[in-house]
Amino acid sequence: RWLSIVGIGEDGVDGLGRGARDLISNAEIVFGGLRHLQLAAPLIKGQAKPWPSPFSLAPGEVVGMRGRKVCVLASGDPFFHGVGATLAAHVPADETWVVPAPSAFSLAAARMGWALPETALVSVHGRALDRIRPHLHPGAHILALTSDAGGPAALAKLLTSLGFGASRLTVLEALGGEREHIRSAEAYGFDLSEIAALNTVAIEVAAAPDARILAYTPGLDDDLFEHDGQITKREIRAVTLSSLRPRHGELLWDVGAGSGSIGIEWLLAHPSLRATAIEADAARAARAARNAAAFGVPHLDVIEGRAPQALSGLPQPDAIFVGGGGSADDLLGVCIDALKPGGRLVVNAVTLETETELIARHAALGGRLSRLAVSRADAVGGKTGWRPAMPVTQWTWEKA
């Protein structure tokens, strides 16, 4: 075990046990950020090496020292949004020895008296603040790790714009050290200043009647999406997500994405999921990207291009949704070939021409063919009657 990874907190060497101290003192080379190296300076006897810029070069530098005694310093728990997970992709676990310290989330939960399993833990450090959106539910507790001193105010502004201005934000700065500082303010009147760059924000969510709350179930209200009518409607979307059956770590192609609603709800199902939205219309592709940000999944990969040509070279998908039919250039044939074994293809059709193609595919390949019809109550003269939406024919097929 030539590589040790030691978590260090704001209390520096005073917070380290004997084992962690020895790993630092005995190392020939000690990697870390400038702050970490300064905190551990009394123990470092070997060469202190700050991380390179860009940080993407760091794993290569560490691996290049294999066979020597190397120590990497990390903030708190190295495997909780830390460098430990990055290095684990390059160095086998049986070559490393890891000594974690309490993470910023653990320290913040301890100060707030919150149970970690019942708290949403979100890192917006170097990531879009929009990632907080799916967790905004009345009464929820959220711990957010920010990027800098401006992070808390930016979170407060976002919450206020979404109808959560009454939420209480507690800013916990430099936790575990001599400079620890804890202050609170409501989002709509947030006026805290001179905030330390190293901070975590605890959010006690309170919602106004018109707050933008994203339900946990698929089939979100159509009005939550920005769209021009090209959207898989709520009831059909819920059935479609059920047919796609998202599973851990899988990749979806949303072909003919329109507003991006299918890819967005796929990503909302679990943080491990990935999705690529393919849309030929430039305005709709831009709209899908805006929707993704508004739903807290800005990592939706939106590709402007016409299928099937735009599918060439994309990572192989675990599931594909085709919402606009599939006759042009044998789109369905290309999708079938692209799927991984065990992958699912779901196609929704509203035209007779596309329905005919799905009937033929079903006859040739099997799968499940369904007819989905939805009617909504609407005004009929001075009374109320059922107004049917266009029926949808859905073909679902799994690749052997």
User: Quick one: what percent of the chain has pLDDT higher than 90?
Assistant: 95
Q: How far is CA 272 from CA 275, 295, 297, 335, in A?
A: 10, 16, 12, 23
Residue 358: what pLDDT? Answer: 94
Q: How confident is the model at residue 369 (pLDDT cuts 50, 70, 90)?
A: very high
Q: Is 60 exceeded by the pLDDT of residue 325?
A: no
User: CA-to-CA distance for 150 and 199, rounded, in angstroms?
Assistant: 10
101: which DSSP letter? -
Q: Tell me the mean pLDDT in the region 258-272.
A: 97
Q: Residue ranges per domain, the chain?
A: 3-101, 105-204, 222-398
Per CATH, the homologous superfamily of domain 105-204 is Tetrapyrrole methylase, C-terminal domain (3.30.950.10)
The two three-digit tokens of residue 146, written as one number: 């920010």
pLDDT of residue 76: 94
Contact 31, 51 (CB under 8 A): yes
Q: What is the pLDDT of residue 376?
A: 94
Residue 382 CB burial class (10 angstroms; 0-12, 13-18, ≥19):
exposed
Phi, psi of 108 (to 5 degrees): -65, -40
Decide: helix, strand or coil at residue 31. Answer: strand
Domain 222-398 sits in CATH at: 3.40.50.150
What three-state secondary structure class fits 205? Answer: coil
Q: In angstroms, what CA-CA distances link 252 with 296, 305, 306, 365?
A: 17, 16, 17, 21
Contacts (Cβ under 8 Å, ≥6 apart) of 15 = 8, 9, 101, 176
* 92 pLDDT higher than 60: yes
The rounded mean pLDDT for the chain is: 95
Q: What is the mean pLDDT of residues 155-164?
A: 98
Task: Give the Cα separation of 39 and 301 in Å (integer).
Answer: 40
Contact 77, 103 (CB under 8 A): yes
Q: What is the mean pLDDT of residues 354-367?
A: 95
Query: Model-level pTM?
Result: 0.92
Q: In this predicted structure, which of 81-90, 128-137, 200-209, 362-371 has the lowest mean pLDDT?
A: 81-90
Instruction: Give the pLDDT band (50/70/90) at residue 230.
Output: confident
Residue keyed to tokens 């021409």 = 353
Q: pLDDT band for position 328 (50/70/90)?
A: low
Residue 171 predicted with pLDDT over 60: yes
Torsion of CA 291, 150, 178, 80, to 10 degrees: 20
Q: What is the mean pLDDT of residues 394-400?
A: 97
Q: Which range among 50-59, 243-252, 327-336 shows the weakest confidence by mean pLDDT?
A: 327-336
State the average pLDDT over residues 366-395. Answer: 95
Summarised one tens digit per residue, pLDDT across range 208-225 is: 999 999 999 999 999 999
Q: What span, in angstroms and rounded, lies between the C-alpha atoms of 6 and 19?
A: 10
Quote the tokens at residue 252: 């979806």
326: pLDDT strictly greater than 80 = no
Does residue 240 register a pLDDT over 70? yes
Whether the pLDDT of residue 106 is over 60: the answer is yes
Q: Tell me, which fold does domain 3-101 have in CATH?
A: Cobalt-precorrin-4 Transmethylase; domain 1 (3.40.1010)
Residue 232, pLDDT > 80, answer yes
Q: Which two tokens stand for residue 347?
A: 């196609």
Torsion region of 330: left, alpha or beta (phi above 0 gives left; psi -120 to 50 gives alpha): left
Going through 205-327 in order, the beta strands assigned E by DSSP cover 251-255, 274-279, 301-304, 319-322
Over the stretch 183-207, which tens digit does the pLDDT of each residue have?
999 999 999 999 999 999 999 999 9
How crowded is residue 233: how many other Cβ atoms within 10 Å of its Cβ? 17
Span 2-24, average pLDDT? 96
Question: How open is the CA angle 318-322-325, to the nearest 5 degrees?
Answer: 150
pLDDT at 324 over 80: no
Contacts of 168 (CB under 8 A, 6+ apart): 184, 185, 186, 187, 203, 204, 206
